Chain A
């Protein structure tokens, strides 16, 4: 028993895959027609922009409802009870809507799932005895979040569950003796472990309901793994945790080991990504290498920051250009031909945004306000070794 009709979800997947095959000329239109009639999908289809609007206005309406209840019943009930009561009302509403209108991730249900989960978690969290450590509170909310993920498969709640888990792990580790020293290793272990878990389950037909959640978890776990192993991050976090702060972050114990990990982990992930042809691995390892190079430049400045940025830009252009030419004909299982799965317009909007965003100051009237962009990123030459 789950919130959304699983048969429809399976059918949706079947029809989508068949459409791809049909576009590649592997299925006839008549076969596709048969597949569509035999595997009907009853979800209500909306459009991406409409979904955003629906999400926003659902949030508006539900916030109004919550505050109205609070202002009406405040003397009678405490805020925890009110949260639980509102959560209950919203849940009932959500289920009526799902049953009657067959929404699936249409913005409305996303918002309602988020609100319900948040209200129930907050309400139950408020019932916990006072003075509990942070990790205990996070661990107590985790079952609620996970139940919500299990039942609705919502991505934002998955993100929240991941955040709660990380907070609990970090906070608990810091309470241990020598916690600060082992924190990065715990972070790496958690990231690596969660990634392995997600990767193990992300492609099972039986777990189709949570396929997207597992994919999201892969991205998040890789980010955690790469951040915990980056020398700059480790040193900075270490500095925040010190009781007495010197003006400069002090050198960390086992510095050489972290320098090694900073480069080895993204490089290892890149090799793995190339071998497995796995998008999250490829992209995150690339970002990890960029972070490693930036950390290196930060502590051993060979160039000034602006030279570094310009040089990296130049190298990235060369590298991308080289790979594009190299993959003109597919090699090693990689190709530069666009996939039918990534429509043109999907990427066009972010591209335009970034260009306009970065060029806007140069186009403004006041020439005296030159802005400094984010200096702490840069792409590096990812070694294309097979």
Chain B
């Protein structure tokens, strides 16, 4: 992008004086090239590769390395990461604080991922939790969410929320676009819904109390996704509860649409629209069984209807 021609125009419009133009040209020529994001991605990749590799190493060589030695090394590494993060921590405040140096937050993330490896390894080797598998995910869930609030770290918050959702029996891997886990099982489904309600209530309460408001949307996105997916899965799997599930789905979609309008957070609008549409379409095809021509007409009409609906959301202020 060369701003040369823009400067020409601005000078011609007499918005810029000759002198001012030269200043801008010089500023543009001297502007250093920012590799900030590339470096952050490198750090992230490094952390992910390292923890993945370490996890696989342990898994592959379980019978060949001394367990205690391995456990000690992992514990040391993990502790070192937390210590480093702690040294870098700014005092807790309800607002967004950030860290003193760019490395603190990454050390914390690495520490958390290593903690997971450590925990899995300890469970595998010494079965410290016995058969109480719930604990395996409950501990990191509580720990990570607490750490996220203490250290002001949204990535760790996402990890904690993922662990919490695993705890009720649903595994999320966002890049696979489906939820593993047992949503065919009514008790899992209900616990997922209850957890989602709890999380939404908690997020809104903390937001209201102005505590870490930049966490609100992360928590709501996780909880909302869980809620909507559980509801859709319920529609597919439990025809006997269609009425109540449909009612809840309608309320949730409406709620998110209102929230999106209020907060100008369009992710929630998109979520509620798409999941709501999937639910509605499933119900219509399930009960009315339209013929092919009617089905095509349905696609056209609903598609256009939703386009108009989405376009009715105006951005209140553009930045």
Which positions in A face B, CB cutoff 8 Å? 13-14, 17-18, 21, 24, 26-27, 31, 34-35, 38, 45-50, 52-54, 56-65, 67-68, 71-72, 108, 203, 205, 211, 277, 279, 282-283, 304-321, 323-324, 327, 330, 333-339, 342, 347-348, 351-365, 367, 370, 372-373, 378-379
Contact = CB atoms under 8 A, between A and B. Distances in A.
Contacts of A64: 296-300, 303
A110 B307 CA distance: 13
15 contacts: A24-B27, A47-B315, A49-B267, A58-B303, A63-B299, A68-B300, A71-B296, A310-B56, A317-B43, A323-B42, A324-B39, A352-B155, A357-B176, A360-B171, A360-B173
Interface residues of B, number: 97
> Helix, strand, loop or mixed for chain B's interface?
helix
A288 to B, nearest CB: 15
B102 A61 contact: no
B2 A203 contact: yes
Contacts of B50: 309-310, 313-314, 316-317
B40 A347 contact: yes
Contacts of B315: 45-47
A180 B141 CA distance: 55
A49 to B, nearest CB: 4
Contacts of A304: 57, 60
Contacts of B273: 53
B39 A323 contact: yes
Given A355-B158, A364-B166, A61 B266 contact: no
Contact of B159 (A27, A315, A355): A355
Contacts of A319: 42, 46
A312 B46 CA distance: 7
B37 A347 contact: yes
A35 B3 CA distance: 15
Given A363-B163, A379-B42, 18 more contacts: A60-B299, A64-B299, A211-B1, A306-B57, A312-B46, A312-B53, A313-B45, A327-B35, A335-B32, A336-B34, A338-B36, A357-B175, A358-B52, A359-B162, A362-B117, A363-B116, A367-B120, A379-B45
B171 A363 contact: yes
Interface stretch (B67-75, B132-140, B204-212, B239-247): B132-140
A226 B14 CA distance: 47
Nearest to A103: B311
The 3 closest A-B pairs by CB, nearest first: A61-B303, A310-B53, A64-B299
Given A47-B266, A65-B300, A336-B39, A324 B102 contact: yes
A284 B299 CA distance: 41
Contacts of B136: 365, 367
Nearest to A309: B53
Contacts of B306: 53, 57, 60
Contacts of A318: 46
B155 A351 contact: yes
Nearest to B291: A71
Candidate in B59, B176, B311 with the most chain A CB atoms within 10 angstroms:
B311
A306 B59 CA distance: 10
Contacts of B162: 356, 359-360, 363
